[in-house]
Structure 1
Amino acid sequence: MAGKQTASPVDDARAAALLRMDTDSESDAGGDAGGGGDAPQVQQEQGGGVDAATADRLVILRDHISAYPQSYEAHHEYVELLRKAAGAAHDDEEAGQLWVLLSGARESFAKEFPLSEALWLEWVEDCEKRGEERAIGSLLERAVGDYPTPALWKRRMEHERKQGRSAAEVRAIAEAAVRSCGADVANGAVLWEEFADFEKEALGRLEGDADREDQRERVRGIYKRALGLPMVGLKCLHQGFLAFEGLGEESPSSPLSQTLEVSLDELESRETYEDGLSKSDNSQDATLEVFQKYLKYENKYGDPGRVVSLFQRLVCRFPCHDPCWDAFGKYVENQMQDKEFARETYVRAARNCPWSPQLWARALATSEGPECRPSQEELLNTSLSNALLVQSLTQQSALDLLLVRADALRRAARMEELRQFFRFAWDKLCTLFPDYRDDTFQLARYWARMESPEVATKMWQEMAGRYGSTCPVWLAWVDFELHHGGPASVKAARAIFQKAHSKCSEIAAKWRAFEGEYGSAESAAQAYRKTSLINFSLMAAEAPRQVEAEVPKPTKRKKPATKKPAKKPAKKRAKKRAKAPQRGSAGMLVPRQVGRKSKLEL
């Protein structure tokens, strides 16, 4: 924060003394060492409206914001403390110094985040107190860009009327106000009332009869447009119209009575939703559910203006809920097909939800063209320097952001700038993700297609040298050659297959399929011979490992100990052997010799 205030007219040393930022000074150390009750009083007299505790806290916040500029809570607290200190200043000089610091803090806050309605109104109120009327107009213009609420638009219309702007200028602002929030069911009537009051005031300054009649028709047109919308406060608007026409409050001859009745009936059908939104004890989920049902109703029975008005209320109520912004942007982009409004919506969305890559991507996509402000290049630089976004980026979402810009450069035929951007994109991805590898080779294919054939071939050779141990790089190279390689693409693809077919079985299968589609019988047979040998060796090498992995080795088990049978006496063993039949080498029974005679025993 301190770095952002170097242009301040306030001397740094005086500001430091004012805010007790010289915490290491001997006087402060002595005051702390004394430990007496008079120290705070002395500091208060020296530092004016800032006590020591507040000054210390301001120092901490200032340093924290300097290190982490996207800390919303720190910005908010810093502004609140400075505003409180400025309100307690003892004299004009001290108040002026604090005002400069407060203005710088607010500018830093507004640069990083959209300010809420309350913060903008406080800023405007403080400017009014100091008599800085010139600053108020630009502040209110920025305010309705951040938070287009009826209260801020009404405040802007009032200010422009007081400044003596021309009728055409004020009328243009009033039209923008009712276009933005005029269909707000709850609070839109205040804008139409302010618009009608301005036109009636302009009528009073006209003298010619013809001019006055034209102006009267303009006032009638405003009332007619307003009374045709379902809004709270329609009866008051109708009474204003009757008074303008010089008719009684209950005059049956009012030309807008029927219009009023139709709008009141439409308002009644929306009361259930409005009651649900006005409940202060509703949870966030309950309120979002009411909004969802309300939007479906307006989309079915209302018109696009009412749907947009309800979306505006939704995102002002839940500015940090990115699904709300996503739905709003899609409605404007797809249903209304209003590119400029879609761009404004997505840029607001990205400022409110800077952590969302999807919202940044749509903001970039809708900002294509030299007429867009901020430009697409500025938006991309802003997004890639946003700490909240960088923390939430994945490799694919970061690539998607960069490719949006690449697509725009290609469509604009800015080829040299596109080639330089591809180098920037690759370096940026490697910086954001030190272990980055483009497994899909989406960026490499796109980049190579924009280069000459010689440069493209060199690029793929470098990629193959880096990722050559994997199949995807070779297959991506082959695909590139077949689609963008020109007349010699088949020959180049075959050379890649011949070089890479031993890397994995998938490449071998792709080579055989390739030769079936593009090759001759001889080249197909050659591919089959080479890939068959490779496949056989791969299977032979892999089969034992698979068997070894699938079949567990048997475990050795000890046999249970058994007692040996007792030996029989020798005579009994001999007698048993004599009776037992004998088998030959082939397992056949042979005769047993008994004396000199023999006989077969089965």
Structure 2
Amino acid sequence: MKMNETLVTSSEPPPSDGDPMDVVTEAHNPNENQSASSSDSDSESDDEAQVALELQNLETELATNPANYDAHVQYITALRKQGDLDKLRLAREVMSELFPLTPAMWQQWGNDEISLISSSAHEGAIPAIEKLYERGVSDYTSVPLWLDYLNFLQKYDSSVSECSPSGISKARDLFERALTACGLHIAEGSKLWESYRSYEERILNTMDKTDSELREKQTQKIRSIFHRQLSIPHLDLKSTLLTYKAWESHHGNNLDVSPQVASSHQKALEMLNIRADFEKKIAKNDVPDTERLQSYMAYLKFEQSSGDPARVKSLYERAITEFPISSDLWIDYTSYLNKTLKADKTLRDIYNRATRNCPWVGELWVRFMLYLERCHGSEKELSDVFERSLLCTFSTIDEYVDIFLTRVDGLRRRKQVDNGLDFALIRDTFKRASDYLSQQLKNTYSLLQIHSYWARLEYNIAKDITAVREVWKSLLKTSGSMLEAWQGYISMETELGHIHEARSLYKQCYTKRFSGTGSEDICNSWIRFEREFGSLEDFDHASQKVTPRLQELQFYKIQQESKVMASSIEEKEDKKITREKRKSGSDNPPNEQPPAKRHKDKSNKTEKSVVTQKDIPHGQSQSQSQSDTKMNEKSKQYNDKCTAFVSNLNLKAKGNYDILQASKDDLSGFFSDIGGVGEIRILLDKFTKKSRGLAYVDFCDDAHLESAIAKNKQMFLGKKLSIARSDPKGKRKSDNSNSNTNSSIKQGKVELKGRNTFAVPRTVRALGWTGGTKPPPAATTEGGDEKPKSNEELRNLLLNKT
């Protein structure tokens, strides 16, 4: 169907009876008109072709990307130009299913449908257009749209226009709804009041003039509308009072306004004066939208302080109409409603509008589901909202997690009240969450939270221990390198009294590589577990498994420390060279080679140094020699004569102040019972400048140092500290002259057991062996005649070997 179609008729030109010249002239003029008409026709044809091409492109775009809001708007505009009402109506329906239409778009739609009403068939079209307006006023609060709706009924609904009893009732109900929605609108609300009074005046004029009682009753109805309007702050409140006085005078009442009306009018004026500045700010169109939105928020804060929920709700609706996709505004709006109205059934439409305007905000969907549960919504309603939410795209993965957990929470609560609810629905929701989120949440607390919650419900509600274990196993398949996943599984088995199963899990995971100190933690946890639940044989078996593993981890920690220290020394040396070059004022001094050649020569020297290692003094490695040379070039601030090396510090310091200072203060307090604490040095990451969990603590003498070392393995800020004597210079080699190396380390080759092993230096004291004591059997060599190397020798050896 085409809109505004016109019938075009053509007729032959009448014959001419005049001069032949006139005939020629008459014959020529139609040709000119025909040429002009042809030109116009070609122009119209080009326009139609351009519109058709635009429509084709827009249809292709919407087929591939139906969520493109702007493409929908452009498509509807192009269809209006073409005049194809059937396609236009379908396009509007499709867009309204996905997005709320603006009040202007609803007005345009209504006007297009009204223009097609013929005088003979308009009665049948009225209900369809009424439904159209009902949909429009439910999307946004708009005074112009309500006025269009009311005017349409007064013009095309015969019962309303003829003021029949049924028509009057229908019109009054609609006017009261409009006033409830927009009657408090300070800027435009008075238009609705005026329209209402105008219709009531129309009713009065149709009444029999001889029926004074009925006319007086109608007059009182109009007077009541005036009184209501005068008690509400509107921008034209003063002119409304003058109109009221003139109306009373016209109806023979020349008395002054009643004291009650005057008092309510004065209060309304005072309210208007207080809000006048807010109204001016939100009415400015020459300022950025962010500024106008902030003006609305300030206005809303003021209205909330006044304590009138109706006025607050009206102002929120005005703000939403102008800023429909402001998620912060919708969140603020729904928060206010939760506090004031809570389970009010009228909030269902508001939550529905919020999620349609901002479908990408997970918090709005969560609040919608909680509201439906609070007002005892049906399972179908809750399921529909949940399924709609999963079709949206959220900015963070945590929003998806929150939606799934909210759905499960509701099902769990309903299951506890209604035993008829099938647990399979809860299980299916968890399974969907796992399938949907596992890859994105791999090794995260959120995935652990979902599975631990799932496992608890499987045991507490379904009473299915097999299903419980399957849940944990599915988590470990995805997040097996996450310590907390194993701890959660073990903890649940322990709580349920399944000691054998918990022990089996320890055996599976104690050799795994976990982040941070997780590997040490799981080993120590197994030992504690056997102390509390195991037999002596179980405890001995766990100790035999755990002890070598802890040695491996300790060796690896020393290796990593050595690498970091070597890297730090090189970095400082490079900075020193750079500063010296800058001071010299030249990038390449006369006696210095270019950087490229220096690099090449440095490589050659490195190769040469390997060949001529015999020139290095006996007992000193090449890396030691290089490191000592670098250290000698730089002044030494600390000599570590009486220093403890502390590791496994808690990286999360207490308080909100600087991390470095907080760690120093905490360490100082930890050693306060010993005394003699000097300088405390926290090792920081060179990039993040945050604590690496390592520190050097200087003491005034050996007695205090030995007391500090005696505190090894004590708990500090939730973690077990490792404290050992720092010996970077190897000056205490004589204390360890009779040491032996681990029997598993032979001829410079490392032989370690376990799923994850690390490179270990040749001569390192066994774990727990201090100077002056006999090394444990597992730490002796076959010959027993090799001297242990100092920490500094070890670091340099590792730097050279690795």
Q: TM-score, normalised by structure 1?
A: 0.73
283-292 or 522-531, larger mean C-alpha shift: 522-531
Partner of 1:227: 230
Report the alpha carbon displacement of residue 60 of structure 1 after superposing the two structures with TM: 0.6
Q: Counterpart of 2:63 in structure 1: which amino acid?
A: S
Which residue, out of 104, 109, 124, partners 1:118? 104
* Post-superposition offset of 1:327: 0.9
Counterpart residue type for residue 326 of structure 1: I
Structure 1 residues 423, 193: closer, same or farther in 2, change over 3 A? same
What secondary structure is seen at the aligned counterpart in 2 of 1:450?
helix
- Residue 134 of structure 2, aligned match among 132, 137, 141: 141
1:32-65 C-alpha deviation (Å, 9 max, x unpaired): xxxxx979946957x9xx6111111111111111
Q: Which amino acid aligns with 2:355?
A: A
Q: Distance in 2 between matches of 1:515 and 1:230?
A: 77
Residue in 2 that maps onto 1:467: 479
Aligned in 2, Cα 1:546/1:123: closer, same or farther, shift over 3 Å?
A: same
Displacement of 1:174: 3.2
Alignment of 1:377 onto 2:374: no
SS at match of 2:372: coil
Aligned residue for 1:56, secondary structure, equals helix
Counterpart Cα distance in 2 of 1:350 and 1:251: 52
Provide closer, same or farther for how the CA distance between residues 547 and 117 of structure 1 changes in structure 2, counting only shifts above 3 A: same
Q: Are the counterparts in 2 of residues 40 and 51 from structure 1 also a CA contact under 8 Å? A: no
Q: Deviations over 1:577-600 (max 9, x none)?
A: xxxxxxxxxxxxxxxxxxxxxxxx
Aligned counterparts, 1:335-354, within 5 A: 335-354=340-359
Unpaired runs of at least 5, structure 2: 3-36, 118-124, 161-165, 416-420, 459-463, 513-518, 571-601, 610-802
Contact 2:454 2:471 in 1 (8 A): no
Contact persistence 2:397–2:440 (CA under 8 A): no
State whether structure 2 residue 324 is matched by structure 1 residue 327: no
For the residues of structure 2 that align with 1:342 and 1:395, how far apart are their CA atoms?
Answer: 28
1:544 to 2:551 alignment: no
Q: Tell me the distance in 1 between the aligned counterparts of 2:455 and 2:380.
A: 30
1:501 aligned partner: 510
- Aligned-pair distance for 1:74? 1.0
Aligned to 1:68: 65
Q: Which residue of 1 aligns with 2:321?
A: 316
1:422 and 2:430 are equivalent in the alignment: yes
1:70–1:249: structure 2 CA closer, same or farther, 3 Å change rule? Answer: farther
Q: Structure 1: give runs of 5+ residues left out of the alignment.
A: 1-8, 11-36, 87-97, 560-602
With over 3 angstroms needed to count, the CA separation of the structure-2 counterparts of 1:444 and 1:170, relative to structure 1, is farther
2:455 aligned with 1:448? yes
How far the C-alpha of 1:258 sits from its partner, in A, is 1.4
8 Å Cα contact 1:333/1:339 also seen in 2: no
Secondary structure, counterpart of 1:151 in structure 2: helix
Please tell me the root mean square deviation across aligned C-alpha atoms, in Å: 3.7
Shift of 1:240: 5.5
Residues 490 and 205 (structure 1), Cα distance of their counterparts in 2 relative to 1, 3 Å cut = farther
Stretch of structure 1 that moved more, 317-326 or 204-213: 204-213
Contact 2:443 2:482 in 1 (8 A): no
Q: CA deviation at 1:169?
A: 4.4
Aligned to 2:182: 181
> Which residue of the partner structure matches residue 31 of structure 1?
none
Identity of aligned residues (%): 26
Task: Spell out, residue by residue over 1:367-400, the C-alpha distance to the aligned partner (whole angstroms, 9 max, x if none).
Answer: 3366469823222322322xxx42x443221121
For residues 382-439 of structure 1, give each alpha carbon's deviation from its aligned partner in whole angstroms, at most 9, with x where no partner exists. Answer: 2322xxx42x443221121222222222222132222122223333336xx6785654
5 Å-filtered alignment, 1:172-321, equals 172-198=173-199, 221-239=224-242, 241-242=244-245, 243=247, 246=251, 251-253=256-258, 255-301=260-306, 303-321=308-326
CA pair 464-429 structure 1, distance change in 2 beyond 3 A: closer
Letter in 2 for 1:409: L
Distance in structure 1 (CA, Å) of the matches to 2:528 and 2:205: 86
Residues 374 and 66 (structure 1 numbering): CA distance in 2 closer, same or farther, change over 3 Å?
farther
- Give the paired residue count: 501
Maintained 8 Å contact 2:143/2:188: yes
In structure 2, do the counterparts of structure 1 residues 479 and 52 end up closer, same or farther at CA, with 3 Å as the change threshold? same
- Whether the 8 Å contact between 2:182 and 2:189 is mirrored in structure 1 is yes
State the match for 1:357 in structure 2.
362
Moved more, 404-413 or 532-541: 532-541
Q: Deviations over 1:258-284 (max 9, x none)?
A: 111110111011111111122221111
Does the 8 Å contact 2:189/2:234 carry over to 1? yes
User: Residue 544 of structure 1 aligns to which amino acid in structure 2?
Assistant: Q
Question: Is the CA contact (8 Å cut-off) linking 1:512 and 1:524 kept in structure 2?
Answer: no
Aligned match of 1:591 = none
Offset of residue 495 of structure 1: 4.7
Q: Secondary structure at the residue paired with 2:345?
A: helix
1:127 equivalent to 2:136? Answer: no
Given that 1:448 and 1:456 are in contact with CA atoms closer than 8 Å, whether structure 2 keeps it comes out as yes
2:406 aligned residue:
404
Match of residue 573 from structure 2: none
Deviation string 1:104-134 (CA, Å, 9 cap, x unpaired) is: 1111121121111111100011111001433
Distance 1:154 1:100 in 2: 26
User: Residue in 1 aligned with 2:646?
Assistant: none
Contact residue 325 and residue 349 of structure 1 kept, 8 A: yes
